[in-house]
Amino acid sequence: MKKIGRPTVDTEAVTLRLPREMIAAIDDRRRQEPDLPTRPEMIRRALAQWLETPGDNKEE
């Protein structure tokens, strides 16, 4: 018998507060995407892109 509801995924929720200006910037940027991602999806994409360029992410 199949369970009803969301499928099990290997994820963990992260809750954070952002300044309204940053949320507005995220919304502006996601409107530029052809598929209009949700805010969480846009943040996931930004993090994935940031993590792909490790040399550029280090504080000096």
Residue 60 has a pLDDT of: 52
Local structure of 25: helix, strand or coil: helix
Q: What is the pTM of this model?
A: 0.72
Residue type, 43: I
Is residue 57 pLDDT above 60, yes or no? Answer: no
Q: Are 29 and 22 in contact (CB under 8 A)?
A: no
Residue 58 has a pLDDT of: 58
26 phi/psi in degrees, rounded to 5: -65, -45
Q: Which helix (H) or strand (E) holds 28?
A: helix 20-30
Domain ranges of the chain: 20-52
Residue 5 has a pLDDT of: 79
Q: Are 22 and 28 in contact (CB under 8 A)?
A: no
Write out pLDDT tens, residues 3-55. 787 777 888 999 999 999 999 999 999 999 999 999 999 999 999 999 998 77
